[in-house]
Amino acid sequence: MPTVLRFEGYRVVVYPNDHRPAHVHVFGAGSEAVFHLNSSGGPVELRENYGFSRREIARIRMALNGSVETLWAGWRAIHGDA
């Protein structure tokens, strides 16, 4: 599973055999969350959360929104157009 971004102890990945719509999986501290990328301009949208607190989700969302172009580039490199 290719890592497309790392920040503050979190790892953001895109699975090569994953489905559309475009999304990323965020891992950290034994938890996972999935965010839809929506559009190349953002904002991301939380789809699933397995163990992160609301505060962590807010921090993750801010970081992802600030890196949405990088996330889209990672998705496109693996899956082509969304």
pLDDT digit string (tens) for 16-34? 999 999 999 999 999 999 9
Tens of pLDDT, residues 31-55: 999 999 998 788 999 999 999 999 9
Q: What pLDDT is stored for residue 82 in this prediction?
A: 57
Please count the structural domains in the chain: 1
Per-residue pLDDT, 36: 97
pLDDT at 80: 86
Long-range contacts formed by 59-62: CB under 8 A, 24+ apart? 59/8, 60/10, 60/26, 60/33, 60/35, 61/35
Please state, rounded to an integer, the average pLDDT across all residues of the chain.
94
